[in-house]
C-alpha cells in the first residue's frame, strides 16, 4: 500500500470537490472536509478522507441526505438541540460544535445534543478546533452496537467514542479520544492472519466467555476496557449522546454496514467550556506547561519510549503533516479523484 | 467483623453529631453527613461514615479546617468557581453541587470548578441527589497520585474518580461511579494474604513492568483500565477537576495519609444538566424504561448472573437500607459514638 504526501490545502480541495460531487453544497462540503482532513493530519486515517466513498455510497442508495438542512434549537442559553436531519455526519458535527461554542461564549458552558446524525468522524478534530479558540470540550457519540453488556452474550451497546480536550493558550492542547473496547477489531483480524492467539480480555466468543482464539473473538464481540467500567462508560455515553438527544440508542441505532440505506439516527453530545472565563491565558498557559512537564519527565519503564500526554502522538503527526504534507493512501486519493471525475466536477474550487 | 443495621435517620444523626464534635457547625455537619450516609446506603462503606474518624484526625492536627467558609463565585451564568478553603470534603462537594444546580436551573447547564478541597467521599451520592431533582451530571475529582503515566515507572497521576448520572423521572436513575484502576489495592492485598498470584494487568512492579506477584504490585502501582486509555482518562479528569479549577494537580496534590497535616488542595468538577429543558418528563421516563429493558434483557453468559445497568447494585442496596436499616460495621459505629461521647456532645439533635 503506497502512501502519498498531499499538501493540506490540496487535500481539503479534493475532499470538498468529492463531497460536492456526491451532492453536498460547496460550503457544507468544505466544512465536512475540514473534519476528515484533520483526522488524516492526526494520523487517524481510518477516520479521514478514506470515509468519503463510504459516505457517498450511502448517499447514492438514499441512506444519507447530502443536502440536509441541519437545524439548531437553542432551548436554553446553555443548551442546544441539533437535528442533523440525516445529513453527512461531519457536517452535523461541525454545526453542533458551532452551536455549543456560541452558547459557551455567552454563558461559559453549553451542551449541544444532536440527533438525526451519521458517523461524524473522529472526535479529535472537533476537540482540536474547540481548543484553538480556548474552549475545553467533552464530546461523545453513540454507535452501532458491537459490545455486549458486561456479563451478557449479545451486542447491545456501541463501542462509543468519548473525547475530552483542554486548550493551551500558547502550545499544544491535551486531547483524549478513545473508544471503549480494549482493542479495535482490526487488531484481532491481524492476529488471525498471522495465526497467533489473542491475549485474554480483548474479546469474548459468541457464548460470552473470554477467549484467546481470534476467530472466536471475531465471531463474538469486543470486550470493554476494565470490564464493567468500560461497559458502564459506553452506557453513560449512549445515555448522554443518544437518549437525552432524542436520537436512537442501543439496538435502535441502525448499522450503516448492514443496513446502509436506512437513516442511522446517531446521537452526539458536544459540551464546550470557555476557559477564558476561569482565568487569564497566562495562568492557564503556565499550568498547562507545568502539567505536561510533570508527566513527560516520568522515568520511563522502557528508556526508548518516553511517557506521552494524551494526543501528543496525533499533534506531532499534525505538525509533520503541515510541514511535509498529509499522508494519504494512494488508493484512497485515486478513489476521491475518480468520484470527482465521474461527476464531471473537476473544475478548481 | 460484625455489622449493625441502623435506621437512616439515626445514622444521619450520629454522623452529624460526630462531625459537630469534631468542630463543624451543625448545618454543615448535617450536609456532609448526608453524603457519607448515602454511600453507606449504596453499600460503598469504604466511602461512608467510616471516614469520619480519619477526617477528624486530620482536623485535630490542623490538616483540615472544620469551620471553613466555602466561597462560591459565579463567574458566568453557567460557570461557578468554588473555593473549599480546606473544609471537610463532603461539605465542599455539597456546596459545589448546589452551585452547579443553581446555574443549570437558570441556563440549562452549569459547571462548578472546585479548589481547596479534601476527599469528598464517593461520587454516587452527589449524582443521585442531582438525579432526584431531574439533573444529569458529570462529576469528577483528582486524588493523590497512585497511578504511573502509561509507560512510566513513577506514580504521577491519581486514581481519579469519574461519575456520570442520568435521571429517571419516575424510576431509578442510571449512575456510573468509577476510578481508573483495573482494581483497588485492597483486592491485591487480599490475594497476597491468600498467597495467590495476581492476573496480569492489575498492577506493575516498581520497575514499571506488569507483574503477577501481588507483593511486587503493592510495592509498584496500580494499572489503569485499558492501559493508555485509562491513563488518558485519569489525566483528563485531573485537567478538568484540578488544573482548570485552580486546585493542585498531579504530584502537587498532598497525600492525606503521608502528610495528613498539610492542606491537600484537591480539585473537583461538577457539571449539571437540567434534563427538564430537553423534553417532557414522560418522554424521558419512557426512554429510560426502554433503555433499561434493552440492557436487562440481554441473554447472560452465566444464567445466574443477569446483566445489570450501572448503579443498579447500589440502588438496590439503597432500597434495602431504607427498608431494613443501613448496614454499618459495628466497630465503625462504636468509633463514632466514642467521638460524640468524648466531646460531651451526646445530646439529641
pLDDT in tens, chain B (349 residues): 799 999 999 999 999 999 999 999 999 999 999 999 999 999 999 999 999 999 999 999 999 999 999 999 999 999 999 999 999 999 999 999 999 999 999 999 999 999 999 999 999 999 999 999 999 999 999 999 999 999 999 999 999 999 999 999 999 999 999 999 999 888 899 999 999 999 888 999 988 888 999 999 999 999 999 999 999 999 999 999 999 999 999 999 998 888 889 999 999 999 999 999 999 999 999 999 999 999 999 999 899 999 999 999 999 999 999 999 999 999 999 999 999 999 885 455 4
B110/A78 Cβ within 8 A = yes
Percent of chain A with pLDDT over 90: 91
Of A161, A181, A178, A141, the closest CA to residue A265 belongs to A141
* Composition of chain A by helix, strand, coil, percent to 5: 45, 20, 35
B163 CA: distance to closest CA in chain A (Å) = 9
Q: Which residue of A has its CA nearest to B100?
A: A109
pLDDT tens for residues A37-83? 999 999 999 999 999 999 999 999 999 999 999 999 999 999 999 99
pLDDT value of residue B289: 98
Which residues of chain B from 7 to 46 reach within 8 Å of chain A, CB to CB?
A: none
Which residues of chain B from 87 to 126 reach within 8 Å of chain A, CB to CB?
A: 104, 107-111, 113
Alpha-carbon span A42 to A38, nearest angstrom: 6
pLDDT value of residue B184: 87
Across-strand partners of B76?
B79
**Is residue A348 scored above 60 in pLDDT?**
no
CB < 8 Å to B275, chain A: 244
Section A278-300 average pLDDT = 97
pLDDT value of residue A49: 98
Alpha-carbon span B78 to B214, nearest angstrom: 46
Angle of CA points A35, A39, A44, to nearest 5°: 155
Q: Which residue of A has its CA nearest to B302?
A: A151
Section A270-280 average pLDDT = 98
- Residue B186 near residue B174, CB atoms below 8 Å: no
B174/A239 Cβ within 8 A = yes
For chain A, give the mean pLDDT: 95
Alpha-carbon span A188 to A186, nearest angstrom: 5
**Is residue A185 scored above 90 in pLDDT?**
no
Among candidates A109, A244, A288 on the partner chain, residue whose Cβ is nearest the Cβ of B136: A244
**Is residue A347 scored above 80 in pLDDT?**
no
Q: Exposure of A296 by Cβ count < 10 A (0-12 exposed, 13-18 middle, 19+ buried)?
A: middle
Alpha-carbon span A335 to A49, nearest angstrom: 10
Work out the end-to-end distance of chain B between its first and last CA atoms, rounded to an integer number of angstroms.
Answer: 29
Q: All 3 cell numbers of residue B77?
A: 451564568
pLDDT value of residue A74: 97
- Residue B33 near residue B49, CB atoms below 8 Å: yes
DSSP H helical ranges for A197-310: 214-219, 228-238, 281-296
Q: A64 at the B interface (CB within 8 A)?
A: no
Per CATH, the number for B3-181+224-277+327-342 is 3.30.1370.60
Alpha-carbon span A23 to A16, nearest angstrom: 11
Percent of chain A with pLDDT over 70: 99
Confidence of residue A207 (pLDDT cuts 50, 70, 90): confident
B301/A154 Cβ within 8 A = no
Which residues of chain A from 273 to 332 reach within 8 Å of chain B, CB to CB?
A: 273-275, 277-279, 284, 287-288, 291, 294-295, 298-302, 305-310
Q: Three-state DSSP class for A79?
A: strand
pLDDT value of residue A113: 98
Which helix (H) or strand (E) segment is A160 a member of?
A: none
CB < 8 Å to A104, chain B: 78
Q: Where are the domains of chain A?
A: 3-181+224-277+327-342
Q: Three-state DSSP class for A86?
A: coil
Strands B109-117 and B79-83 turn out to be parallel
CB < 8 Å to A207, chain B: 301
Question: Which of B108, B206, B221, B248 has the highest number of chain A CBs within 10 A, making it the mutation to test binding with A?
Answer: B108
Q: All 3 cell numbers of residue A19?
A: 463531497
Amino acid at each position: 500500500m503506497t502512501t502519498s504526501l498531499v499538501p493540506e490545502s490540496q487535500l481539503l480541495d479534493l475532499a470538498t470537490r468529492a463531497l460536492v460531487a456526491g451532492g453536498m453544497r460547496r460550503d457544507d462540503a468544505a466544512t465536512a472536509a475540514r473534519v476528515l482532513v484533520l483526522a488524516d493530519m492526526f494520523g487517524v486515517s481510518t477516520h479521514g478522507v478514506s470515509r468519503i466513498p463510504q459516505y457517498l455510497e450511502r448517499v447514492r442508495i438514499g441512506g444519507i441526505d447530502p443536502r440536509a438542512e441541519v437545524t439548531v434549537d437553542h432551548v436554553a442559553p446553555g443548551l442546544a438541540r441539533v437535528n442533523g436531519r440525516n445529513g453527512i455526519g461531519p457536517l452535523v458535527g461541525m454545526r453542533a460544535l458551532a452551536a455549543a461554542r456560541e452558547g459557551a461564549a455567552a454563558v461559559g458552558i453549553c451542551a449541544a445534543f444532536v440527533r438525526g446524525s451519521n458517523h461524524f468522524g473522529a472526535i479529535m478534530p472537533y476537540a482540536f478546533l474547540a481548543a484553538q479558540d480556548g474552549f475545553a470540550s467533552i464530546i461523545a457519540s453513540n454507535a452501532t452496537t458491537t459490545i455486549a453488556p458486561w456479563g451478557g452474550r449479545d451486542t447491545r451497546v456501541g463501542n462509543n467514542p468519548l473525547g475530552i480536550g483542554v486548550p493551551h493558550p500558547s502550545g499544544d492542547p491535551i486531547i483524549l479520544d478513545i473508544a471503549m473496547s480494549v482493542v479495535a477489531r482490526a487488531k484481532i483480524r491481524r492476529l488471525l492472519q498471522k495465526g497467533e492467539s489473542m491475549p485474554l480480555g480483548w474479546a469474548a466468543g459468541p457464548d460470552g466467555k473470554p477467549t484467546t482464539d481470534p476467530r472466536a473473538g471475531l465471531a463474538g464481540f469486543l470486550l470493554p476496557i476494565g470490564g464493567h467500567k468500560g461497559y458502564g462508560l459506553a452506557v453513560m455515553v449512549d445515555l448522554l449522546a443518544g437518549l437525552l438527544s432524542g436520537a436512537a440508542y442501543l439496538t435502535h441505532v441502525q448499522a450503516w454496514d448492514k443496513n446502509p440505506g436506512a437513516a442511522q439516527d446517531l446521537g452526539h453530545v458536544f459540551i464546550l467550556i470557555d476557559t477564558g472565563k476561569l482565568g487569564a491565558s497566562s495562568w492557564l498557559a503556565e499550568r498547562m506547561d507545568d502539567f505536561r512537564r510533570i508527566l513527560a519527565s516520568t522515568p520511563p519503564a522502557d528508556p526508548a519510549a518516553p511517557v506521552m500526554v494524551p494526543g501528543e502522538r496525533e499533534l506531532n503527526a499534525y505538525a509533520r503533516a503541515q510541514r511535509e504534507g498529509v499522508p494519504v493512501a494512494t488508493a484512497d486519493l485515486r478513489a476521491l479523484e475518480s468520484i470527482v471525475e465521474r461527476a464531471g466536477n473537476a473544475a478548481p474550487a
